[in-house]
Amino acid sequence: MDILQIIKPKIKPLKASFASLSVVHKLIILLILASLISLIIPHTTYASAVSANGQGLIFFIGDHEQFLQYLSEKATQKYAERLAREQYEKQQRLTGRVTKYLAAYGSPLTDTVPTLITLKNWKKIVALSNAESTLCRKYPKTTANCWGIGGSTLWDMGDNLTEGVVAMNRFLENYPKGSKIKYARMTFEQMNGLYKQPPMDHWVENNEVIYQDLLQIEQSI
């Protein structure tokens, strides 16, 4: 008898379906597959390649949402830093130009410029000082008030002109009391006869000439 005929019936088929396996065998196979997947596709992978010009390229694969958020935060930070730097440089240039302008008139307001230009109404503050006290060259120094606030009884605006310009900015934002439109929002024409009593045409002109000069300086920075 042929020996192959004897052995062949004893060899069992190697075919087996997953469904026919025991629960233990199924679990073992699933664990093996899970470990293989974690090796093939890791959570974060780094790959490097060399570009045509020889420069190394780094590829990042992973949590793309976290990576995009990181890029967005970095871009926002850089943008904010750039704006702050540009604003600082602009403020420095404006300080120099306004100081030079006031110095040409011999105005003591030159010492206030670093604070002055940070105030919302700085141009109007300087313009009013020209109409009321020739750019603060003629005023009672004990009051730090060169804007004529208070009329014959001048208000005390501080110990020095730097405190005075801050107080004047606050005054323009809050007066006239009871009026919906404050001096800060009025034109010099509107203020004439209200801030300036009695109204005078030359008062408006003395304000406008300085205000326009300062506006031109500001726009040129």
For residue 7, being part of any structural domain is answered with no
For residue 102, being part of any structural domain is answered with yes
* pLDDT value for 68: 82
For residue 120, being part of any structural domain is answered with yes
Of the candidates 147, 180, 181, the residue with the CA atom closest to the CA atom of residue 165: 147
* pLDDT value for 64: 72
Domain assignment of residue 156, given as a range = 92-220
- Element containing residue 60 per DSSP (H, E): strand 56-61
Q: Is the pTM of this model over 0.85?
A: no
For residue 64, being part of any structural domain is answered with no
For residue 83, being part of any structural domain is answered with no
* pLDDT value for 152: 86
DSSP states of 9-50: GGSPP----GGGS-HHHHHHHHHHHHHHHHHHS-SSEEEEEE
- Taking only the tens of pLDDT, the chain with its 221 residues reads 454 454 444 545 445 566 666 766 666 666 666 555 545 444 444 444 444 455 554 545 556 778 888 888 888 999 999 999 999 999 999 999 999 999 999 999 999 999 999 999 999 999 999 999 999 999 999 999 999 999 889 999 999 999 999 999 999 999 999 999 999 999 999 999 999 999 999 999 999 999 999 999 999 99
Task: Using the structure block, give the residue that is written with the tokens 């026919």.
Answer: 20
* pLDDT value for 11: 46
For residue 188, being part of any structural domain is answered with yes
Question: Into how many domains does the chain fold?
Answer: 1
For residue 1, being part of any structural domain is answered with no
CATH number, domain containing residue 143: 1.10.530
For residue 76, being part of any structural domain is answered with no
